[in-house]
Structure 1
Amino acid sequence: MNATLRYRDFFHGVFTWISGLSDAGNHGTLDEIHRFWAADGRIITCGQVKAAGIEELREHFGIYPRQYEEVEIREPFHTYLEAGDEVVIEYDILIRGRRHEGAADEGDTGRREFRVIAIFSVTDGRISEMRQIPGVRAGDA
């Protein structure tokens, strides 16, 4: 089967961008949000709207440099499927929190890894909706 993968490089760019947001010295990166997300784009996690519209998306991703020391979305993906303008990706994401005032112990800043299944809708070359279900990977701290 010779399937055309129209969006694979696009999503590599999206996840590289997200992984770079935790670098506090990466000034202006958040302004690139328009490159990947539609003005009315939405993130829905476990059936709840987490961000709707570019300003809420900016707020959502804006916490990364303050809250996370490291965010890594691992490639290759476990699953990558395209059907028209719908893309399904199953991937692992590693998150390490920043030390901050009020962090009780390493548990507040420790490494966490999640397996995520996300369904993306792409409209005019930008993400119009991301529906995701994350789950903690067994055996991770």
Structure 2
Amino acid sequence: MQYQVGKSGRIVVARFTDGEDIIGGVSDICRKENIRAAYFSIVGGIRRGRYVVGPESEDMPPVPVWRELSESHEATGFGTIFWYEDQPKLHFHGSYAKGDSVKGGCLREDSETFLVLEVVITEILDVNAVRELDPDSGMVLLTLRS
């Protein structure tokens, strides 16, 4: 295990409206505000999204198992933001519910708001954290630099 101790910086409260891109919008905020490390929470509605529910097996590199949301769902979740090269890279796990059906997973693509979605981003200061390509997994993972 590795860790660093930082402190909270700015807090950004955002309201996404119907049809807006969630992942793209959070990334845009981080670019505009130069937020290099953060965590965020969401609550609200999601209309569409592609998410990963785990690898097919324990073999490396992992092969993701994809699922799709294709209609409105209630959504809540937590994520982190650290930069990979010159872009903010989000890692978000959420729960998505419609009626009695509840799904969960890592939202990665095609995220679209249904009606309204609230996002709270908390900047993390005084850490040296980025995402780097991990050769074993082929994934872009958190790296703590000294």
| TM exceeding 0.5 | no
Ranked by relative contact order (alpha carbons within 8 Å, sequence separation 6 or more), the top structure is: 2
Normalised to the residue count of structure 2, the TM-score between the two structures is 0.28
Normalised to the residue count of structure 1, the TM-score between the two structures is 0.28
